[in-house]
């Protein structure tokens, strides 16, 4: 019998969609080529920061409304998934401290403090360098100041993926292994073909991260997305406890509940190569020691790299395609997929079960590429 929904991709977007669809009572089949959460969704930094980074982000996220939902869904997951699966995902609220080294960064940061301060649920303030050094004494004393934001949070992405996988299985989701190579319509059903067979379903959700580019041939539409590689290190740094997520110029560092200092990141346009490199590691350490200079005793424990799905216009891709209303695309989360993925999962579930999402998602529609 045909499944109600077949989801291609076992990252945070695919599994969040599976979770909410199964909760609505639909039969769901997830097909993953590698292992669940084995790409960006399992190896991200795990920051949940809807307001962007002061002094760096040019403007408000185009997905701000989805990010707000994302924060709510993460709160729900933190309670519900732990209760049902017993897996702790290390969800916690901890402040962000964005460091400002130059006058142009300070101008932007102060503007951002103004609009961030209007956002409900957050406390955002500009700190002088002395005030910032009191919050985290290990940061550089060369800063001009910093923006301190309360209300932001983080999780351990791999643990979240484990909990989501088990949560999905408890709801009856079938998770299978396979490399999907085509999707075709066959009368009232869709046929999802892997290298070892095919599965019939009524709806398909394609949540394949940057590999979504491969769907262009199957769907006959353009999905302009590319991989953007990022690297992260985890350090054992005795006596240096960074209790905020310290940020500067797209880089970040924080002591996580595992006791390690996590730091990132790079942005590398190198295709689908997702191997950690010494050059990438050195760039991360360089930025880290600009933010937190005295790490002489720190030792490297883990070094990872993975690929963000980056759409050509920088906005997520979410909704049905124009030539088949039962085929949905859900990707393009760039640097924010851990935050946005669970919200996108709820929206996909609402679309498939015939409920109107509470927010307008028109500007994220895949048809924005089909109409040009």
Ligand X SMILES: Cc1cc2nc3c(=O)[nH]c(=O)nc-3n(C[C@H](O)[C@H](O)[C@H](O)COP(=O)(O)OP(=O)(O)OC[C@H]3O[C@@H](n4cnc5c(N)ncnc54)[C@H](O)[C@@H]3O)c2cc1C
Distance from C-alpha of 133 to C-alpha of 161, rounded to nearest angstrom:
35
34 binds ligand X (CB under 6 A): yes
95 binds ligand X (CB under 6 A): no
Q: Which one of the spans 2-10, 113-121, 127-135, 290-298 is the region binding ligand X (CB under 6 A)?
A: 2-10
Q: What is each CA distance from 306 to 137, 230, 256, 333, in whole angstroms?
A: 31, 6, 19, 14
3-state secondary structure 220-268: CCCCCEEEEEEEEEEEECCCCCCCCEEEECCEEEEECCCCCEEEECCCE
Q: Exposure string (b/e) for 72-107, b if CB count within 10 Å is 16 or more?
A: ebbeebbeebeeebebbbbbeebbbbbbbbeeebbe
Distance from C-alpha of 123 to C-alpha of 110, rounded to nearest angstrom:
14
Instruction: Report which of 239, 205, 187 is spatially closest to residue 317, judged by C-alpha positions.
Output: 205
- From the CB of 130, what's the least distance to ligand X, in Å? 29
180 binds ligand X (CB under 6 A): yes
109 binds ligand X (CB under 6 A): no
309 binds ligand X (CB under 6 A): yes
Distance from C-alpha of 65 to C-alpha of 370, rounded to nearest angstrom:
24
Specify the 3-state DSSP secondary structure of 36: coil
319 binds ligand X (CB under 6 A): no
- From the CB of 192, what's the least distance to ligand X, in Å? 9
**Nearest CB to ligand X, comparing residues 99 and 213:** 213
Binders of ligand X in range 255-294 (CB under 6 A): 264-265
**Nearest CB to ligand X, comparing residues 122 and 126:** 122
- Rule CB under 6 A: choose which of 225, 335, 343, 366 binds ligand X: 335
10 binds ligand X (CB under 6 A): yes
DSSP label of 323? T
- Residues linked to residue 319 through DSSP beta bridges, in sequence order: 329
Site string for ligand X, 36-55 (x = CB under 6 A): --xxxx--xxxx--------
**Nearest CB to ligand X, comparing residues 106 and 330:** 330
Q: Give the position of tokens 């924005």.
A: 368
Q: Which one of the spans 74-82, 95-103, 128-136, 202-210 is the region binding ligand X (CB under 6 A)?
A: 202-210
- Residues linked to residue 175 through DSSP beta bridges, in sequence order: 30
149 binds ligand X (CB under 6 A): no
Structure tokens that stand for 229 in this block: 């590689």
**Nearest CB to ligand X, comparing residues 141 and 182:** 182
Total residues in contact with ligand X, by rule CB under 6 A? 41
- From the CB of 103, what's the least distance to ligand X, in Å? 28
- Which residues contact ligand X by CB under 6 A? 8-14, 31-34, 38-41, 44-47, 179-180, 207-209, 211, 230, 232, 264-265, 306, 308-309, 331, 333-339, 341
């Amino acid at each position: 019998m045909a499944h109600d929904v077949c989801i291609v991709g076992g990252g945070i977007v695919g599994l969040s969609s599976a979770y909410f669809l199964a909760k609505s009572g639909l039969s769901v089949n997830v097909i993953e080529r590698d292992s669940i959460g084995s790409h960006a969704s399992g190896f991200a930094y795990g920051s949940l920061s809807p307001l962007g980074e002061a002094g760096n982000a040019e403007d408000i996220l185009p997905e701000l409304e989805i990010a707000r939902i994302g924060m709510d869904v993460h709160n729900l997951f933190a309670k519900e998934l732990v209760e049902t699966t017993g897996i702790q995902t290390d969800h916690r609220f901890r402040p962000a401290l964005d460091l400002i080294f130059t006058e142009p960064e300070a101008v932007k940061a102060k503007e951002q403090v103004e609009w961030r301060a209007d956002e409900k649920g957050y406390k955002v303030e500009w700190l002088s360098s002395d005030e910032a050094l009191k919050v985290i004494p290990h940061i550089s004393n060369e800063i001009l100041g910093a923006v301190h934001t309360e209300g932001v949070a983080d999780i351990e992405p791999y643990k979240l993926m484990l909990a989501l996988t088990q949560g999905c299985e408890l709801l009856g989701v079938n998770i299978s292994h396979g490399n999907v190579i085509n999707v075709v319509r066959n009368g009232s059903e869709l046929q999802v073909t892997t290298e070892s067979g095919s599965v019939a379903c009524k709806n398909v959700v394609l949540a394949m991260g940057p590999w979504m580019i491969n769907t262009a041939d199957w769907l006959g539409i353009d999905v302009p997305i590319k991989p953007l590689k990022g690297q992260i290190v985890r350090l054992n740094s005795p006596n240096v406890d960074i209790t905020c997520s310290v940020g500067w110029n797209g880089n970040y560092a924080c002591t996580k509940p595992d006791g390690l200092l996590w730091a990132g990141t790079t942005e590398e346009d190198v295709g689908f190569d997702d191997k950690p490199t010494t050059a990438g590691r050195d760039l991360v350490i360089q930025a880290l020691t600009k933010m937190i200079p005295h790490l002489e005793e720190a030792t490297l424990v883990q070094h990872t790299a993975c690929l963000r799905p980056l759409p050509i216009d920088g906005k997520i891709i979410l909704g049905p395609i124009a030539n088949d209303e039962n085929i949905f695309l859900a990707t393009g989360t760039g640097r924010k997929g851990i935050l946005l993925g669970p919200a996108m999962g709820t929206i996909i579930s609402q679309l498939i079960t015939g409920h109107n999402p509470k927010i307008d998602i028109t500007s994220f529609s895949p048809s924005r590429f089909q109409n040009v």
